[in-house]
Amino acid sequence: MLLADDGHVASGFLFLFAFKTIFAANVGISIIDRIHQKRLFVHLLVVSQRLVIALIKTTYYGQITEKSMTNIRLTFKEMCAKFDVTPRTLRYYEYIELLSPEREGRSRFYGNQECARMTLILRGRRFGFSLEDIRQWLLIYEKEGTQAQMKAWVELADQQLSELDDQRKQLDETIVELRKLRDDTRNSIN
């Protein structure tokens, strides 16, 4: 019955082979590489779980509907693995109201909106924005819509670019000063 869609079955075997290949060669690998392998394993596990669900849906319903593939519902662990964040970080983002997952008892489930927000949060952090700036920016979308949010984004980006330019100038000055001090010290030794 599971052979109804050979492409999904072949993909499932490919994931199982990837698991075996990744963890078979663990001898002589650094701790950091093992951590990366474990993260990859968790990610592949999440993907393979979705593959099994797709197999079941294909077997029983004949085909996977487009809606079932686009509506994401991730657990807490899956969300951490997908975005490579710690549970503490994810809980903190909920605490400061950057994310608001669905709750069923003690379980949390993250949908498309939370995944999109998490992507924006991590991108904003990478660009150096404060969490409060990101939170305010995300609130603009809820209250005023996309156009207002884009205008606010341009203003925030201009401010951040200005700050980054200032930091670059300070860093360049520090590098020049450190090189001069190093050269002076080297010359005094010789």
> Are 53 and 46 within 8 A, CB to CB?
no
Across the range 165-169, mean pLDDT stands at 95
Confidence class of residue 146 from pLDDT cuts 50, 70 and 90?
confident
The sign of the CA dihedral 29, 35, 37, 38 is: positive
Across the range 59-83, mean pLDDT stands at 68
Across the range 51-80, mean pLDDT stands at 58
- Has residue 13 got a pLDDT over 50? no
pLDDT of residue 165: 95
Across the range 20-34, mean pLDDT stands at 48
> Are 117 and 131 within 8 A, CB to CB?
no
Give domain limits for the chain.
1-71, 84-124
Per-residue pLDDT tens digits for 100-127:
999 999 999 999 999 999 999 999 999 9
- Has residue 18 got a pLDDT over 70? no
pLDDT of residue 37: 54
Angle, alpha carbons 179-185-186 (nearest 5°): 90
- Has residue 96 got a pLDDT over 70? yes
46 by DSSP, 3-state: which?
A: helix
128 by DSSP, 3-state: which?
A: coil
- Return all residues near 168 (Cβ < 8 A) that are at least 6 apart: none
Listed as own residue / partner, the contacts of 97-103 with beta carbons closer than 8 Å and 24 or more positions apart are: 97/135, 98/131, 98/134, 98/135, 98/138, 101/76, 102/73
> Which of 29-38, 44-53, 82-91 has the lowest average pLDDT?
44-53
